[in-house]
Chain A
Amino acid sequence: ADGLPETDVFRDSVYVRLERLGFRVGEGLSERFSRDRPRFTDQLDVIKFLCKDLWTVVFKKQIDNLKTNHRGVFVLTDSRFRPFSRMSMANPAEAMARAQPHLYFPCGIIRGVLSSLGIKAIVQAETTELPSATFQIKTIPAK
């Protein structure tokens, strides 16, 4: 039963796979697009690079809102997340459930970008209303 699309095991395997692909893409992107810019000064600087430069490369727009608790947690909101721009269904709940997997790859991209710039993090994403998407980044302090 684990191979069936509606099981948790199946969903998790899809998540792991897409997130891993995104991670590798994120690493590559940050290498290519951070090459000609000044050295990063701090964590926030890296996050801003992600929100402005890299988001524009991938989704052709910047992140609309960035919040932080100044203790290593960042919340990025894209109020018109491009992959969601043409999703609609009669039933909003179902649309949201189906939209969810489209967040896995971008989560991986974010983690890959941060990782290649020296920041370890846990990245989670959710949507409460299409086409908006929220990404939460919890950075893990270096020991």
Chain B
Amino acid sequence: MASGQKAARVGEEVWKTRVEKVNAELVTLTYGTIVAQLCTDYDYDYAQVNQQLDKMGYNIGMRLIEDFLAKSNIGRCGNFRDTAEMISKVGFKIFLNVTPTVTNWTADNKQFSLLFDENPLADFVELPDDGRAQDELWFSNILCGVLRGALEMVQMSIEARFVSDVLRGNDVTEMRVTLLRYIEDEMPPDDD
């Protein structure tokens, strides 16, 4: 719990003093436009759209982690529970000004959920009424990729995926995060 409080304090502090902000509606509109464009590009094959969003997120995450570490001045997390607190209370706080709830841990501490009470990416969004988007599209899937890319750069291989979304009519928006393994430091192979 102590680590959670510390993370909340750091997140608040960084958000207030060290983050350059942009208009939230600009972000929402731009993201929405990208998703809509991908839907037409892939001819409403939502599985492909999800995959593209995840890939874009991954590329962003790999860069964003640098900015995150530089701004937050946070060291290595002792365990995956600390990592989860940092993601929720510092990462999401400083980049999106939200703090998703960390919950539903498995007994082995390798899997948790992030519950989003609010999701700035999805403000004003309604999914297409084509009878499929509601079952197939994960509108905010870019966030899963961001997490995967960012954590990979700090030596955690994870899987992140949405399991429910209020846009689909579910009660909550929930992302499931699973630690696959810690990536070991390796010396580049000798080529002599």
Contacts and interface: CB of A to CB of B under 8 A. Distances in A.
A57 B25 CA distance: 9
A58 B26 contact: yes
A114 to B, nearest CB: 17
B24 to A, nearest CB: 11
A48 interface: no
Contacts of A117: none
Interface residues of A, number: 11
A24 B32 CA distance: 10
B22 A60 contact: yes
Contact of A28 (B29, B34, B37): B29
A24 B30 CA distance: 8
A46 interface: no
Contacts of B25: 29, 32, 57
The prevalent SS among residues of B at the interface is helix
B26 A25 contact: yes
A92 to B, nearest CB: 24
Contacts of B33: 21, 24-25, 28
A17 B34 CA distance: 10
A21 B30 contact: yes
A83 to B, nearest CB: 12
The list of the 8 closest CB pairs from A to B, nearest first, reads: A28-B29, A24-B33, A57-B23, A25-B29, A21-B33, A25-B30, A25-B33, A32-B25
Interface of B: 22-23, 25-26, 29-30, 33-34, 36-37
Interface of A: 17, 20-21, 24-25, 28-29, 32, 57-58, 60
6 contacts: A17-B37, A28-B33, A29-B25, A29-B26, A58-B26, A60-B22
